[in-house]
Chain A
Amino acid sequence: MKKLLAAALLILATLPAAAADLTGAGATFPYPLYAQWADSYKKLTGVGLNYQSIGSGGGIAQIKAQTVDFGASDAPLTKAELDAAGLVQFPMIVGGVVPVVNLEGIAPGALKLSAALLADIYLGSVKKWNDPAVAALNPGLALPARDITVVHRADGSGTTWIFTNYLDKVSPAWHGKVGCGKEVAWPAGVGGKGNEGVAAYVQRIKGAVGYVEYAYALQNKLTHILLENRAGKFVAPTQASFQAAAAGADWSAAPGLYLVLTDQPGDASWPITGASFVLIHREQRDAARAKSLLDFFAWCFAEGDAAASTLDYVPLPDDVVALVEGVWKTGVKSGGAAVWK
């Protein structure tokens, strides 16, 4: 009797699930694009996506608790973390973090900063815009004698993780004093809530420097800078330079696709590039549902580039997509059989 009841309940529980939309939760950064993709995909196939942009931390917690079909995070999990939770991770899109300034008389792309100098500014050790270190990199530029106001994110965020990961890599002083995290003990400056908060502070405060997602820099017409990359070249933040960073990275040598795209080699690479990741369970309970989820992602890779570019995101390079689909084939199983062929 009990068994019968349990079986009936199981059927009841799985019935609506089979017909229901796909569910996901996590990072806020890719949310506008995921929503756009889901909308187009639903019109095409009738399969919808319910994505909750609750933040990367929440996304990781939700996928571990198996309350959603996939989680999304701006910071990748390490191979060990993935194995412990039985998860597979793959990058979905690429984005860039862009330092922006508010300085009178300085046009977008006119100010050049090196990695070490950006770190020193955020450490609070370079305090004025006409500091000799800034002037040395920008010989022709009339730099004002203004105080530098550092603006950072006040809320824990994947954007901060990518930015501090970069500073941590390029500056021993930053590595020693601050480190890398979604929220760190900022040595200087003020914190704005969200990308929009940082953008607003930078626009309001004269002499401010902040960092925002590329799309926010574009949409708010903020003054971006040129940043020196690992190859010693000063590059501008563009879709092409983000893609160069993603293409230059060696994904096949990264276990669990744990690859951070900051400070990548290549003449054209933007140094503060990051990928937004998707997390799914290695062992899927429902093969059909898992297949439909991966079909959706495959469609996004194949047909979603235009939507991504329109919204100022950067699609993954084709060879990385091939690599991701390879991971699906070998890494995602249901009852021992591969879900995606």
Chain B
Amino acid sequence: MTTSRHATAAEPERRRPRPWGDPLFRGLAAAAAGLFLLLTAAVFLELVRGSELSLAKFGPSFLWREAWNPVTGDFGALSSIAGTLISTLIAMALAVPLSLVIALFLVELAPPAVAKPVGAAIELLAAVPSIIYGMWGLFVFAPFMADHVQPFLSARLGFLPLFQGPPMGIGMLTAGIILALMILPFITSVMRDVLKMVPPVVKEAGYGMGSTVWEVARKVTVRYGARGMAGACLLGLGRAVGETMAVTFVIGNNHRLGASLFDAGNTIASALANEFAEAADPLYLSALVELGLVLFLITFAIQGLTHVWIRRLERSAGRGF
């Protein structure tokens, strides 16, 4: 703020700013941004309105009951909520470390001749529609899981309830892995862009102090880009939580909660995709809308928690952005 905004005598012909220009722009921009808030509020209200019947009948117990019986009209969301969280957890646990390593490789280690084509391939993968992942998962990946991965896991880790049961190829684990493959390109490409924006001078300072590549990556680059990378994870998380088609193909779709990751299950999004079209009974429809409401709240909660977490991370790092 050291330079003066107003023209001095040296530039007398400068156009005078119109007095309403700035306020108008500010108003339009605010309205556009406000539209988002309005839309979010409208979606929330509509979901609450649509699930009134179910809310009235089942109350909060909807959240922890496993029953899902369209014939008798008895509904609970436990298996769907658990399925959503478990499949997302598997996906994030696999995709985040892998993305971080790939992004670091592309930015820090790979020569441009390698980084460019790999980067392009990643962006291409991010554009593949989810139904393709679903079909591939069902016809190619599920048989591979059934014949190789699941028997292997059963043999080595079969003492854990997590890896017991017949190897069907489909189920929670397969769905989680497919999800991981789907969100990997998203997280990687955003992380790569974040890491690229770390100023070279900061890194060079690290190298100047005799740090190794690993030390600079861990203590400088990743720290510096923490907020952006958390954003990248959030993007992947958002896609994983709400992913529908790919999961529906491989998760096995039943409303039961199994102890094993080989068991079939369902997620909120897959249950909606499967059942919405033929749900004619008002209570059934209402229960499905309430599932949507739960998904909305889960997404909201994840967003909130991530923001809190990032703020804490920044405070511990001693500076903001």
Contacts and interface: CB of A to CB of B under 8 A. Distances in A.
Interface of A: 54-58, 60-61, 147, 149, 154-157, 178-186, 189-193, 197, 200-201, 204-205
Given A57-B278, A155-B275, A185 B71 contact: yes
Nearest to A178: B71
B258 to A, nearest CB: 11
Contacts of B253: 154, 190-193
B70 A185 contact: yes
Interface in B65-122: 67-72
Interface residues of B, number: 32
B249 A184 contact: no
Contacts of A200: 138-139
A200 B249 CA distance: 10
B168 interface: yes
Contact of A180 (B71, B139, B266): B71
Contacts of B242: none
A191 B277 contact: no
B274 interface: yes
Interface string B151-171: 000000000000000101111
Nearest to B248: A193
A123 to B, nearest CB: 14
B142 A183 contact: no
Contact of A156 (B166, B255, B266, B278): B278
Contacts of A179: 71-72
Given A190-B264, A192-B253, A205 B169 contact: yes
With most chain A CB atoms within 10 A of its CB, the pick from B142, B171, B264, B277 is: B277
Interface in B241-257: 248-249, 252-255
A281 B37 CA distance: 44
Contact of A204 (B142, B254, B270, B274): B142
A204 B250 CA distance: 12
B280 A57 contact: yes
20 contacts: A147-B166, A149-B168, A154-B253, A154-B266, A155-B274, A156-B275, A180-B71, A181-B71, A182-B280, A183-B278, A184-B69, A190-B168, A190-B171, A190-B253, A190-B264, A191-B253, A204-B142, A204-B143, A205-B146, A205-B169
Given A147-B166, A197-B249, A205-B169, A57 B69 contact: no
Nearest to B134: A193
B53 interface: no
Given A185-B255, A205-B169, A55 B274 contact: no
Nearest to B70: A183
A157 B278 contact: yes
Interface string B254-284: 1100000000101000100111011110000
A55 B277 contact: yes
A55 B278 CA distance: 6
Contacts of B67: 185
Given A183-B278, A186-B254, A200-B138, A154 B70 contact: no
Contacts of A157: 278
A189 B166 CA distance: 12
A180 B270 CA distance: 22
Nearest to B171: A190
Contacts of A147: 166
A321 B180 CA distance: 54
B183 to A, nearest CB: 21
Contacts of A180: 71
Contacts of A197: 138, 249
Nearest to B277: A55
A124 B146 CA distance: 22
A194 B291 CA distance: 22
Contacts of A182: 70, 278, 280
Given A185-B69, A204-B169, A205-B146, 20 more contacts: A147-B166, A154-B270, A154-B274, A155-B274, A156-B70, A156-B274, A181-B71, A184-B71, A185-B70, A189-B264, A190-B171, A191-B252, A191-B264, A193-B249, A197-B138, A197-B249, A200-B138, A204-B142, A204-B146, A205-B170
Nearest to B146: A204
A156 B276 CA distance: 8
A205 B168 contact: yes
State the 8 A-B residue pairs at the shortest beta-carbon distance, nearest first.
A156-B278, A154-B253, A191-B253, A185-B69, A190-B252, A179-B71, A190-B264, A55-B277
B278 A189 contact: no
Contacts of A178: 71
Contacts of A185: 67-72, 255
Interface string B266-306: 10001001110111100000000000000000000000000
